[in-house]
Structure 1
Amino acid sequence: MAITELFSAADVILDADPANKPALLDRLAAEAASRSGRPAPEILDALLAREKIGSTALGKGVALPHTELADLAEPVVLFARLQRAVDFDARDDEPVDLVFLALWPASNRKGLLTAMSEICRALRDPQSVRRLRGAATPDDAARIVLQAVARDPEDPDLVKDQDDPPPGL
């Protein structure tokens, strides 16, 4: 299942204000619980277990916490922009202010890898990251993400700061 089928403005949290990484993961687990019907502590435990393997910070102020859960009916993808960046144990030592959460059914591991690839592609473009940091509304943030996912990074005619949504949005 592609991000374009999963992600909308309803999945955007702007100006969250967690004090630290554990508080951020707790907030994301609570949001994911409300969408998935799974208990927030179960989601949080899975996220914390994944972080023990290694930080999911990608660098340059961005993180992609992700985990798989057995018996999860549908994937959950959330985006949070923080009021203040928090330490996320990033390799580049930069604190994180943009966070995507991917919570995935364990039975569809390939789907998680595809979703993470799409999110990473969207975040590869510095203009998209800059625009996400300045998005005024959840609708704006969702449009920026979906535009960036839909772009072909190999296209030489790519317009990086396009304000029009892609066809069909």
Structure 2
Amino acid sequence: MIERRITFTLDDEGLPAWKLNRLKTLAGYFRSIVVINNISQLRTANAEQAMRMMSLGSMPGDLCQLMIEGLDAELACMVLTDFVSENCYLISTDHRLISQREEKGSIVLPFDYELSFLSSLSQFTVSSLVKADVLTQISRQCAPNQPDIANRLLEQMQAREAVSSTTMGNGIALPHILTPDIEAPTLVLAPLEQPLEWGPKRGPVSFVIGLVLPAPPQREYLLAFSSFSRRLLDPGFCQLLTENTRPEVLKAVVLDSLLQPFR
């Protein structure tokens, strides 16, 4: 079965009735199931059911995703991408690359931060990939070209893991520390090619999020990252992180969750 996804944020109109009806009409043309997932509200609805879509409580700026599955999902994705591009802020689509002209819906936090990806852990073989390897890579990513700081971050992360595992369940681990060694909150997103045992009784991990906060932390940081950690307890939210592979989508999902306390 073919699957396609379109990720976007809502403009200042949100999802008024005319947009919902148009989306319902378009979705009905295809031999595919089209589901709209309001990621900001953590609610989903079938796009052919306008009343259900109204119950999503969608607001301007909400992060949403159309999930399309069926025999003609490719064609449906092409048509619905055009609809989204005309009526919302397109972030990502499986149909085509996004032009710079379309990049209007970026999510802006009320503080500076650093966010990056571990695109490869290939220097380690699958058999040798263990928690210490991932923590080493995350520490280096948090302090590039600063080996002394990276080593201190690694020591602090290992000390934190020694207290208790940072496995959140649902395939996610969140190694995190407070340190005076950095000036801005720093996140490193690390999708793993092979599941990794991170801690007892919580199942294997397929997605690791390294989080380093400055010490002492500002109030805005605590609000944002407390909201983020609560969302990691939701299986549906974790599924978004483990199933989506596009960096722009993962970044949008994480930033949207950090923005929730400030909406």
- Do residues 114 (structure 1) and 223 (structure 2) align? yes
Partner Cα separation in structure 2 for residue 121 and residue 6 of structure 1: 21
Match of 1:23 in 2: 133
Aligned to 2:144, the other structure's residue is in SS state: helix
Larger mean Cα displacement after TM superposition, 50-59 or 31-40: 31-40
Q: One-letter code of the match for 2:165? A: S
State the Cα RMSD in Å. Answer: 3.0
Contact 1:57/1:88 (<8 A) preserved: yes
CA contact (8 A) 1:32 1:40 kept: yes
SS at match of 1:11: strand
* Inter-partner Cα distance in structure 1 for 2:146 and 2:224: 17
Deviation at 1:140, TM superposition (A): 1.2
Note if contact 1:6-1:77 (Cα within 8 Å) is conserved in structure 2: no
**Which residue in 1 is equivalent to 2:118?**
13
Q: Is the 8 A contact 1:122 1:149 kept in 2?
A: no
2:228 is the counterpart of 1:134: no
* Alignment check: 8 A CA contact 1:14 1:137 kept: no
Stretches of structure 2 that go unaligned for 5 or more consecutive residues are 1-107
For the pair shown, which has the larger CA radius of gyration, 1 or 2? Answer: 2
Cα pair distance change 1:109/1:90, threshold 3 Å:
farther
Amino acid at match of 1:13: L
Q: List aligned pairs for 1:1-169, cutoff 5 A.
A: 4=109, 5-6=111-112, 10-14=115-119, 16=121, 19-34=129-144, 39-92=149-202, 94-108=203-217, 113-150=222-259
SS at match of 1:104: strand
Q: Deviations over 1:40-68 (max 9, x none)?
A: 11110010011111111111211111111
CA contact 1:86–1:96 (8 Å) conserved in 2:
yes
TM-score, scaled to structure 1: 0.71
- TM-score for both structures, normalised by structure 2: 0.48
Residues 61 and 136 from structure 1, CA distance in 2 versus in 1: closer, same or farther, beyond 3 angstroms?
A: closer
Q: Which residue does the alignment assign to 1:163? A: none
Kindly provide the amino acid, as one letter, of the partner of residue 178 in structure 2.
E
Letter in 1 for 2:188: L
Distance in 2, Cα, partners of 1:75 & 1:35: 18
In 1: Cα distance, 2:219 partner to 2:156 partner: 18
- Partner deviation per Cα, 1:10-35 (whole Å, 9 max, x = no partner): 52335645611010101101101129
The 10-residue stretch of structure 1 (115-124 or 135-144) with the greater mean CA deviation from structure 2? 115-124
Q: Would you say the 8 A contact 1:14–1:138 is kept in 2?
A: no
Distance 1:132 1:124, change over 3 A: same
Higher RCO, 1 or 2 (CA under 8 Å, sep at least 6)? 1
How many Å separate the matches in 2 of 1:79 and 1:121?
17
Identity of aligned residues (%): 24
- The corresponding residue for 1:156 is none
| Matched AA of 1:51 | E
Opposite residue 139 of structure 1, the aligned amino acid is E
Quick check: which one's helix share is greater? 1
